[in-house]
Structure 1
Amino acid sequence: MSLPVLSPDMDEAEIDAMVSKATTAASFLKAISHEGRLMILCHLVSGEKTVTELEELLAARQAAVSQQLSRLRLEGLVVPRREGKAIYYRLADEKPRKMLECVYDLFCKDDTA
């Protein structure tokens, strides 16, 4: 995979497409730039969790967890499901999982191997 490069011979439509994709990528990166949101995504990699489970896993108040879930939902990274009084969340698609794998490779993987 090669990265796109801006060049003087690009037409306006190509530049507009790059700007649009950059805007989407920036929005995604902002959504995951908060430690709490990133940790929520990490917990959801293993499967669907209730808000209460996430509160316990994160040792955070319900209001804080709900606020972060709201942002992740707005960005299309998580999907809620209601069952009775419980609300379950799961990853919306493979994009958050792929991003977490990349973050893990960059920041968590042992470089000595």
Structure 2
Amino acid sequence: MPTTITVIESADTFTHVQIIGPLDMAGVGAIDLKLTAATATRRKHTILDMTEVPFMASLGMGLLVQIARALTAREQRLILLTPSDTVAIAIRTSRLDTVMPIAESLEAAHGLLKA
């Protein structure tokens, strides 16, 4: 099954996007442009639902860092919502959670956007 994205909500101040599938080489190739268009180019805070991402390779991390940098340049944030344990460990080990914080619930994600 190919990796896909869905825009869950597009509010005035944030966009909530869900990724379904692995962020390996094929997965990143399948969603790169769509994910960037749904996040970085909208110039709003982004909540990225990672619940259905079972694996993330370094290429996937690079894509998320690219989006986080584009948002940060516009004083916006990228919040990662409930990544799987495997993905969360990879993010924390690489210290990327300092650039794109992890939220354990949608309420916590909204709280991080207000902080």
| Larger strand share, 1 or 2 | 2
TM-score by length of 2: 0.27
| Larger helix share, 1 or 2 | 1
Q: Which structure has the bigger radius of gyration?
A: 1
TM-score by length of 1: 0.27
